[in-house]
């Protein structure tokens, strides 16, 4: 870790001043992942998610478990769900893996409770997960606006997640065409959603 700090760019060093970001970077370094090119929290979260969810053993099952839990959380307007949503024993095994891997955490409950309440290990992980799962298809920027059309309350419930989705739209399209199309559509929805229109700058969630 000392070597990373010594060789880190100014932006990366500033990012690692945050304990949560530093912990994610430590997880990546422990897995022999290069963090030298990371510049934003979005970069950091994306690489951590790749490591612990997408590229991990049973990655598709991990995504299925998280999608189920996120759907339940968003529907309940809560950052917690229960493992009762996961009816298959294989999914419960994957849930345990996600708990041990630092993606999810188990909340305290009565020993007599029929199900376990679980949530993400950190609120920022919840924001990132809901950004890529609950706000439409990340490959289709306009799907964010479609999601808000279908459920306008999401603009308030998932406010930090919207920043991540805008950042994804910005970084995924070098021409910025799809980003500005989405920005204009969201700005047109402003009066209905009570959500501030995007500012004319690259969207980078704060570190």
pLDDT in tens, 139-182: 999 999 999 999 999 989 999 999 999 999 999 999 999 999 99
Q: pTM (2 decimals)?
A: 0.86
Q: What is the pLDDT of residue 138?
A: 93
Q: What is the mean pLDDT of residues 94-123?
A: 88
pLDDT digits (tens, 9 = 90+) for 110-136: 566 678 899 999 999 999 999 999 999
In the chain the domains, ranked by start, together with CATH numbers, are 2-54 (no CATH), 59-124 (1.10.10), 135-193 (no CATH)
Q: pLDDT band at 191, cuts 50/70/90?
A: very low
CA-based end-to-end distance of the chain: 19
Q: What is the pLDDT of residue 14?
A: 86
Look-up: residue for tokens 């307007």? Answer: 77
Q: Tell whether the model's pLDDT for residue 207 goes beyond 90.
A: no
Q: What is the pLDDT of residue 13?
A: 82
pLDDT digits (tens, 9 = 90+) for 45-84: 999 999 999 999 999 999 999 999 999 999 999 999 999 8
Q: Tell whether the model's pLDDT for residue 199 goes beyond 50.
A: no
Q: Tell whether the model's pLDDT for residue 197 goes beyond 90.
A: no
pLDDT digits (tens, 9 = 90+) for 15-34: 888 999 999 999 998 999 98
CA distances from 37 to 9, 40, 164, 168, 198 (A): 8, 10, 19, 17, 27
Q: pLDDT band at 187, cuts 50/70/90?
A: confident
Q: What is the pLDDT of residue 110?
A: 58
Please, is 17 exposed, middle or buried when counting C-beta atoms within 10 Å of its C-beta (0-12, 13-18, 19+)? exposed
DSSP string, 86-151: --SHHHHHHHHHHHHTTSEEEPP--TT-SS-EEEESSHHHHHHHHHHHTSS-TT-TTHHHHHHHH-
Q: What is the pLDDT of residue 12?
A: 83
């Amino acid at each position: 870790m000392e070597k990373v700090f010594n060789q880190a760019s100014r932006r990366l060093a500033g990012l690692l001043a945050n304990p949560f970001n530093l912990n994610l970077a430590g997880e990546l370094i422990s897995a022999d992942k290069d963090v030298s090119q990371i510049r934003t929290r979005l970069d950091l979260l994306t690489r951590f998610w790749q490591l612990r969810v997408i590229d991990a053993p049973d990655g598709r099952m991990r995504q299925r478990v998280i999608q189920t839990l996120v759907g339940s959380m968003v529907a309940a307007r809560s950052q917690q769900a229960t493992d009762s949503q996961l009816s298959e024993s294989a999914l419960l095994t994957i849930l345990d893996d996600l708990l041990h891997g630092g993606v999810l955490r188990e909340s305290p409950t009565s020993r007599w409770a029929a199900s376990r309440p679980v949530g993400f290990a950190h609120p920022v992980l919840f924001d990132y997960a809901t950004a890529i799962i609950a706000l439409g298809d990340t490959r289709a920027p306009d799907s964010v606006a479609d999601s808000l059309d279908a459920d306008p309350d999401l603009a308030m419930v998932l406010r930090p997640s919207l920043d991540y989705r805008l950042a994804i739209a910005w970084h995924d399209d070098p021409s910025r065409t799809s980003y500005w199309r989405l920005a204009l559509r969201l700005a047109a929805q402003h009066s209905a959603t009570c959500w501030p229109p995007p500012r004319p700058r690259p969207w980078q969630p704060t570190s």
